[in-house]
Amino acid sequence: MDPEGLQLLLPPTTLATLANGWLQEDCPGLNFASLVTGSASSQAVLWAKSPGVLAGRPFFDAIFTQLNCQVSWFLPEGSKLVPVVKVAEVKGPAHHLLLGERVALNTLARCSGIASAATTAVEVVRSAGWTGHVAGTRKTTPGFRLVEKYGLLVGGAACHRYDLGGLVMVKDNHVVAAGSMERAVLQARQAAGFSLKVEVECSSLKEALQAAEAGADLVMLDNFKPEELHPTAATLKAKFPSVSVEASGGVTLDNLTQFCGTHIDVISLGMLTQAAPALDFSLKLFAEGDTPVPHARRF
């Protein structure tokens, strides 16, 4: 999927609402620093100072649109960043440039970090010859899910269900509340109707077979060690070939290839949104004809 086209997924009204909320969080009242800068027309350069994948342009744009500033991009969404590189220029009133600076940088840095981790994960599994789906999870930052799910897509990963309405997921607590695996899955199937799939979290082969027998579309083999995962998935697929299998729990970029296998359709990693390091960007005002290059971040 072309990263440039992914911005079409983001409703303009949603972008505006998010940007407005972020700006209000950072400046809910008086902005005393604006008296230092004044409102003269100014310009600033956006620099990328650490390697990774550029993601989050629509959110960056939305923030500065709220402040009557204009952004000109030099690199497309999904670009591989080799620091130090000039990514964009922003023009507008000086006090507005600085009002949006930290909010915009935070959003871009976080989204790009997630896209970078997702890109690495996809490259790792493709290098291993596995053709299934690398996916994120619902382990996202409250109020920031759209940015994080979008970052996954830019990085080439699947975002999994966006929210509780995207898939009926039966977890261990649902089974306890329903009284049995069979009852939980049957109730989930009724709730799902014809338009939603049902996925069931399982911690043993016995549970996986029960879930598939009851009508699950997907079975998540949760927290299985690789040496247990693959024979369990093979047995499940042999009896229920139409059921998709997801491996989840304890998966990192370091051990990812151990979870790749013929009978695994999806591998989900919570760390893509929970532990991906943010990229380093800076926004520097400059006078016409003077654009100093910042130092690259050292690792």
Active site residues: 139
Distance CA 268, CA 222 (A): 10
- Is residue 194 packed enough to be buried (19+ CB in 10 Å), middle (13-18) or exposed (0-12)? exposed
CA distance 78 to 153: 10
Structure tokens, 258: 């151990």
Tell me phi and psi for residue 13, to 5 degrees. -65, -35
CA-based nearest residue to 55, from 33, 73, 41, 68: 73
**Whole-angstrom distance, CA of residue 89 vs CA of residue 103:** 16
| Helix residue ranges per DSSP H, the chain | 12-26, 34-37, 57-66, 94-127, 145-154, 172-178, 181-192, 205-214, 226-239, 271-274
* 8 A C-beta contact, residue 273 and residue 140: yes
245 close to 264: Cβ distance less than 8 angstroms: yes
Q: Which residues of 144-177 are buried (b: 16+ CB within 10 A; e: fewer)?
A: bebbbbbbbbbbbbbbbbeeeeebbbbeeebbee
